Structure 1
Amino acid sequence: MGFINGLFDSILRTFLRMDLLVETVDLAKLQATLNTVMENLSIQLSANAPAGNFCVRRLPFSASQLLYMNYSEAIRVKSAALKSVLIVFPVAGGLTQRLNGMDIKVLPGDALVVSPGDRLNMQWLKKTEAFLIHVPDCILFRYWVDYFDGNAFFSVRFSPVLSCVKYPGRNICKLIADIMIEMGDVNSLISRGIALDAVENRLILTLLDSLRMNHPEETGMCAESVKPIYIKRVLQYIMENERENISMADLATVAGVSPRTLQLGFDRVYGIPPMSYVRRYKLVKVRHVLKTLITDNVVIGDIAAKWGFFHSSNFARNYKELFGECPSATVNKRLAVL
């Protein structure tokens, strides 16, 4: 714990010099401010708790953010289903998250991991200090596809508790400490805004790899062992006919089961319907083409049409929802390195 406490101390010293997002005794103001940078939250004082002081500081990147929170009184935080992953590292006090009917208590030395699709139902203890990493699920999926050679499926669900003392959680804490130390040096590349993209890239890659290693059986890396044979037949059919117009009837025929059975099977294994899987599969293929073309004479609509996306506005919307960026942004980033 001495190593981790030292890292946390360096992080906190620097966070105190970070941009102040809000400092208030007004819970309504706290909630409204946090809702401008995160998904909609509901914040309440715990029973019989007096009004307290609440402080939040923030280090924003282009697609993710680090936050520092200091709450003098106990509060309860709730939300709808998240479209992001949230990792909370308490450095004083602690918190409890209710998940699947169980209370998960997290104290300094561990971190709480809230997966996309989960709801916040958190009880922050009195005098709790914590730092948080917040990354949209579309960004995690984009990194999964681009850097881990991921396919159309990535179940962004992780073990709810990550040890900061053991690898890989220790690795994340050390990286964050290094980032914060450099942020505290006005002459560093990070402080001067020169290396922020590279820092964010490393942070998300380390985070994603660490979360996968912490609970690999819940990710797409280990899904093969739980796929029924009829789903394997469907996946093979999709790969062999990837540029064709595939319908639900086609998939059910290949699977040899009813459309309802196929739907339930995909929901159980992947958490999405069969046709959503097909759309994801094709979008991943389009992204690969956009990232690897060696010419600057690119007509995105023509490429999308080859994979069955004939409505440009629908294609662009679905692409951005999945990857967190427009197709043109993918092309522009590729052209920048040609």
Structure 2
Amino acid sequence: MPISRSTASAEPLQQYGRLRTSDVSLAQHVVAEVYEPHTLRPLNGSRLDARLNAVQNGGLTLGYLAYGTEVRIDLPPSDRWYHVNVTLNGTSRVARERGEKGTTTGMSSAAILLPHRAQTIDWAADTEQFALRIPRADIEEHLAGLAGRPISAPIEFDLVMNLETPAGRGLLRCIEFVRAEWDEGGILAQNAVSRRQLESMILTNLLMAASGPHQRLLRQAPDTTTPDALRRALDYIHEHVRTLPTLTDLTEAAGVSARTLQLQFLKNLNRTPSQYLREVRLRAAREDLLHPRSATLTVTDVAVALGFYNLGRFSSMYRSVYGESPSETLRRAKGQ
């Protein structure tokens, strides 16, 4: 089924239904659980017909959402998630704090909601959307990889994304492929490697399709002035992260003193070798939790294997970066 006007008998992801209700409080509660806390308010007194069907693809949440009447959604800043609302039918009006406003229309445009800004969205009665939730850390790390440099602040996407550009159509195709695989029981729904590859494809198309200051980073060639010693240390970290390399290992691989290596990390990456290594270990832990190698894998197994011996501190650090606890990630990955 292509992305198009749905019917009551053929909604996208219908077998993954999370919600169908006329109760405003229940609709707000369930959508908040799947996406993020917000305030939902019908605008014209008509009866709500809220529907949500949603799946988890790696770190991404993809859901079909409709309210069946005019509603207003107030989304406060959380610092955890980016949201991409792809309008399938109808229209929505979106406003960000500081005065930015825009309108989305069916199959032509989408709204991008930022983690560090408050936003208000008004839905028309006939509006249906695919709502995509993306962990802040995941998309910022993806941009860092494409741009060849660290990303230290939230990405300032423009409010409305044009879906009629080549990259916009590519994003729609990616979303449609995810929908079809889950609806039709394809390999994506059962294969963790395939899900990870498609997640990367979606993030790449999103970064290419969205307008904003980040496009300048994508157009620039990766920085080729990185000192050879630093590059050797970075390569060593990524190749040996699971053997828990020490600073001595890094200096030996880089062929410079610890002091010189510290200065090169701070100058080029704005972090120490230990901080950078911890970030890489945390990303490796997330990969292991998102794609468990066995049904008996535990958070403790993952944490200890990657050198996080204080489980409370690991959980706190993980939550601050990914917006959920390690156990929540693992339960979701296991389908519990």
- TM-score of the two chains, using structure 2 as the length reference: 0.65
Matched, 1:44 2:41: yes
Equivalent residue for 2:55? Answer: 59
Deviation of 1:312 (Å): 8.1
Equivalent residue for 1:300? Answer: 307
Equivalent residue for 2:242? Answer: none
Q: Deviations over 1:95-134 (max 9, x none)?
A: 1111222431111111111122122311111121111111
Q: Deviations over 1:243-262 (max 9, x none)?
A: 48x9xxxx9xx9xxxxxxxx
Equivalent residue for 1:81? Answer: 77
Matched, 1:217 2:213: yes
Deviation of 1:37 (Å): 1.4
Structure 1 pair 20–299 and aligned structure 2 pair: CA distance change class (3 A): closer
Deviation of 1:196 (Å): 4.6
Which letter maps to 2:50? F
Structure 1 pair 16–181 and aligned structure 2 pair: CA distance change class (3 A): closer
Question: What CA distance in whole angstroms lies between the structure 1 residues aligned with 2:122 and 2:3?
Answer: 22
Which letter maps to 1:41? H
Q: Unaligned stretches of 5+ in structure 2?
A: 221-257, 285-303, 327-336
Which letter maps to 1:68? Y
Which letter maps to 2:150? N
Question: What CA distance in whole angstroms lies between the structure 2 residues aligned with 1:11 and 1:164?
Answer: 19
How many equivalent pairs are there?
A: 265
Which letter maps to 2:118? R
Matched, 1:189 2:184: no
1:221 aligns to what SS in structure 2? helix
Question: What CA distance in whole angstroms lies between the structure 2 residues aligned with 1:62 and 1:165?
Answer: 27
Structure 1 pair 72–321 and aligned structure 2 pair: CA distance change class (3 A): same
2:116 aligns to what SS in structure 1? coil
Structure 1 pair 154–220 and aligned structure 2 pair: CA distance change class (3 A): farther
Deviation of 1:85 (Å): 1.0
Equivalent residue for 2:127? Answer: 128
Which letter maps to 1:78? D
Question: What CA distance in whole angstroms lies between the structure 1 residues aligned with 2:197 and 2:150?
Answer: 20
Question: What CA distance in whole angstroms lies between the structure 2 residues aligned with 1:29 and 1:173?
Answer: 30
Deviation of 1:61 (Å): 2.6
Equivalent residue for 2:103? Answer: 105
Equivalent residue for 1:284? Answer: 276
Question: What CA distance in whole angstroms lies between the structure 1 residues aligned with 2:15 and 2:40?
Answer: 23
Answer whether contact 1:144 1:154 (CA < 8 A) is retained.
Answer: no
Answer whether contact 1:27 1:43 (CA < 8 A) is retained.
Answer: yes
Structure 1 pair 211–139 and aligned structure 2 pair: CA distance change class (3 A): same
Answer whether contact 1:45 1:74 (CA < 8 A) is retained.
Answer: yes
Equivalent residue for 1:8? Answer: 3
Question: What CA distance in whole angstroms lies between the structure 1 residues aligned with 2:153 and 2:53?
Answer: 31
1:176 aligns to what SS in structure 2? helix
2:184 aligns to what SS in structure 1? coil
Question: What CA distance in whole angstroms lies between the structure 2 residues aligned with 1:8 and 1:166?
Answer: 17
Higher deviation after alignment, 102-111 or 214-223: 214-223
Q: Unaligned stretches of 5+ in structure 1?
A: 1-5, 225-238, 255-276, 303-310, 328-338
Structure 1 pair 119–326 and aligned structure 2 pair: CA distance change class (3 A): closer
What is the RMSD of the two structures over their aligned residues, measured on CA atoms? Answer: 4.0
Answer whether contact 1:157 1:219 (CA < 8 A) is retained.
Answer: no
Matched, 1:177 2:172: no
